[in-house]
Amino acid sequence: MSRRALTTKEPKITATSQQSRFHAETLDTSTEIDLKDVTIAIGDRELITGSRLKLKEGIRYALVGRNGTGKSTLLQCIADKLIPGIGKSLRVVLVSQVTDSARASEVLGNAGNDPSVLQHVVQGDAERTTAMSEFQSLTRAVEANSMEQTQLIVSEIRLSRLKADLEEARKIASRTSGARGKKAREDEIKAEEKVKEAELALKECNVELDILDQASKMLSEITMTLELLDSSTTESRAATILIGLGFSQTMMDSPYKSLSGGWRSRCALATALLVQSDILLLDEPSNFLDLDATLWLEHYLNAQTQTLVLTSHDQVFLNNVVDETVILREKTLRYFEGTPRAFEIDERKRHKAAVKTQGALDKKKEHIERSIQQGKASAKQTGDDNKLRMAKSRQRKLDERWGAETSAKGTRFKLNRDLAGFHLTNRAEIEIETAEPKVKISLPDPAKLRTIGDLIHFDNVTFKWPKAAKATFEGVNFTVDQGGRCAFVGANGQGKSTLAKLIMGELSPTKGTIVRHPLLKIGYFSQHSVEDLSGNVQTTALQHFLDYFEQRGEKVAESEARACLGSFGLGGKIASDTPLRVLSGGQKVSR
């Protein structure tokens, strides 16, 4: 066994898998993953134990499981190659439920860098961006008037490549331990030495005799790389993807900084679809997509050839895209050759058949037990030893050979073949899997207000953002009375969230009036809640819950808070000990 751990603030992600000297990782050529005895844990909490991780080339998988079971963590472990045995050269791209905050922060924090949305997506293809930069530098090196200039450019590129190798070596060393960790740290030391040598060579800048030939060879290799990456069509492909995801030409030309969190999530998805990968991991990609964009993404994914692992609460979208299903349940990965919908139907059929078979066996057993009792009673009355031996023989068969009459393959059960190893009986019991309980979310009815009147009333409301060319909406009139229900529907960018903020009082109308009931209390769930909670490093779900009401002048008992969180699957230590930062997207939404 070998072990790797993600070096972040506590709790750490730890992943293990079974290793052998003939493992595919030594070849590093496979685009598939097939690992045995995979175990993944966050801190002391195990999410997956002793499971097989199998991703076949070109298959589109649905990864399904309850919130908090470890789906997002599994995808993160695959993307970061934390699980020993995943090939180093395997190209894995992950789009998480939360916006690519690292890249977004880098862009927003650099005042001199103000790329458009299209440029941001194109730059997200790091391999192409690096290759293009090296191509331009090497072209200057080949065309330079002096060998010193050529040597300088080549030395800079060598140093840049060695620094990238060192960064990768450090990541691997930080995640491994034991014998593999020792080897990784040795590689890190060697990489550091090479960087120092390259820095010294760059400083001295001694011209090599064949430096021009070396520059020409490197330029030829980079040119081939760009051809393989189809770099000449990158911008057009990026634009096509962005349009499919709902971006207009004006939005593509506008600064990336101006985008909201939801549109940045679309940018992250666009970058992932643009980059060439062997395995594409999409964690809830439809969360920020409207119907048109979801339908486009569905058709796009169906036309792709790489391996895909997809999680989504949109069951129609999921069933229309995937070929097979991976079920994460009870810390185990199971596989089904079909869609999640087909799995649900198959599971219900198997459960129904198992219950029916068990019922028939119970009736048969009851009949045999009755006959045994009758035989024993008859033998006792008549003194017939043969009847007594017959009753005891039946009892032994009942004790030793009772159970399933067919094997897992559906054939007649054979004692010497279908139940190997040590068992208390010669036949297996019929397994009736306990179906996962349905999720029930109950929203308690509020107490009736002491005074009559409408809850909210919009009278000819117009709203326009200060720098916007036109109003988001104008002349809006509607009323929500006590006990009423109202839905706002429309395409992205039409102002639904703005309307909600006007109701909340976070924004004021440009024209018109908004009347709220004086005793009205409003609960608000934002579409950006997951992103907002992801920034909390130490706060737990329980503490956040208590703080939320305390800030609003309400006192909630800890027992009440725990009961409420527990009803959403956030009970026990998960609520009180686990930072919000490491909860899954589904758990954050539940909070």
Same domain, 501 and 552: no
Same domain, 508 and 533: no
Using the 3D structure, point to which of 187, 210, 228 is the last residue of a domain: 228
- Asked if residue 8 belongs to a domain, the reply is no
Residue-by-residue DSSP string for 121-156: HHHT-HHHHHHHHHHHHHHHHHH-SSHHHHHHHHHH
Same domain, 131 and 218: yes
Using the 3D structure, point to which of 228, 243, 260 is the last residue of a domain: 228
Tell me if 315 sits within 8 A of 64, measured CB to CB: no
| Domain total in the chain | 4
Q: How far, in Å, CA of 149 to CA of 136, rounded?
A: 14
Q: Tens digits of per-residue pLDDT, 338-368?
A: 999 999 898 888 888 778 877 777 787 777 7
* pLDDT at residue number 230: 81
Same domain, 139 and 212: yes
Same domain, 402 and 463: no
* pLDDT at residue number 105: 44
Same domain, 411 and 463: no
- Asked if residue 285 belongs to a domain, the reply is no
One-letter amino acid for residue 340 of the chain? P
Q: How far, in Å, CA of 325 to CA of 338, rounded?
A: 6
Q: By C-alpha distance, which of 281, 289, 274 is closest to 309?
A: 281
Q: How far, in Å, CA of 354 to CA of 542, rounded?
A: 41
- Asked if residue 576 belongs to a domain, the reply is yes
- Asked if residue 255 belongs to a domain, the reply is no
Tens of each residue's pLDDT in the chain, 591 residues? 444 444 434 567 788 888 654 444 445 667 889 999 999 988 778 899 999 999 999 999 999 998 878 898 899 889 988 888 888 788 999 988 765 444 444 444 444 467 899 999 998 888 888 888 989 999 998 888 888 898 899 999 999 989 988 888 887 777 666 666 788 788 889 999 999 998 898 888 888 888 889 889 999 999 998 888 888 888 999 999 999 998 999 889 999 888 877 788 889 899 999 998 999 999 989 888 888 899 999 999 999 999 999 999 889 999 999 999 999 998 999 999 999 999 989 888 888 877 887 777 778 777 777 877 887 788 777 877 777 778 777 777 766 656 655 555 555 555 544 455 545 555 556 666 666 667 676 777 777 888 888 899 999 999 998 877 888 888 999 999 888 888 888 776 778 888 988 998 889 999 999 999 988 888 887 766 665 665 555 677 777 777 777 777 777 787 877 777 776 667 666 766 666 666 666 655 555
Phi, psi of 299 (to 5 degrees): -65, -35
Same domain, 165 and 196: yes
423-453: b or e for each residue (b if 16 or more CB lie within 10 Å)? eeebbeebeeeeeeeeeeeeeeeeeeeeeee
Q: How far, in Å, CA of 548 to CA of 388, rounded?
A: 75
Sign of the CA dihedral 445, 446, 448, 449? negative
- Asked if residue 546 belongs to a domain, the reply is yes
Q: By C-alpha distance, which of 470, 453, 471, 450 is closest to 462?
A: 471
Strands 332-336 and 324-329 come out as antiparallel
Residue-by-residue DSSP string for 281-340: EEESGGGG--HHHHHHHHHHHHT--SEEEEE-S-HHHHHHH-SEEEEEETTEEEEESS-H
Residue numbers of the domain that contains 474: 456-516
Q: How far, in Å, CA of 198 to CA of 204, rounded?
A: 10
Q: Tens digits of per-residue pLDDT, 388-429?
A: 778 777 777 766 656 655 555 555 555 544 455 545 555 556
Same domain, 210 and 153: yes
| pTM of structure | 0.74
Task: Please name the helix (run of DSSP H) or strand (run of DSSP E) that holds residue 187, with its range, or none.
Answer: helix 178-204
513-523: b or e for each residue (b if 16 or more CB lie within 10 Å)? ebeebeeeeee
Same domain, 496 and 539: no
* pLDDT at residue number 319: 95
- Asked if residue 332 belongs to a domain, the reply is no
Strands 307-311 and 456-463 come out as unpaired
* pLDDT at residue number 62: 95
469 CB-contact burial (10 Å; exposed 0-12 / middle 13-18 / buried 19+): exposed
Same domain, 167 and 224: yes
- Asked if residue 93 belongs to a domain, the reply is no
Using the 3D structure, point to which of 191, 209, 228 is the last residue of a domain: 228
- Asked if residue 108 belongs to a domain, the reply is no
* pLDDT at residue number 417: 47
Sequence-separated contacts (24+) of 364-372 with Cβ below 8 Å: 365/398, 365/402, 368/394, 368/398, 369/398, 372/398
CA distances from 244 to 229, 238, 286 (A): 21, 10, 13
Tell me if 191 sits within 8 A of 15, measured CB to CB: no
Same domain, 185 and 145: yes
Strands 92-95 and 473-480 come out as unpaired
* pLDDT at residue number 178: 64
Same domain, 134 and 224: yes
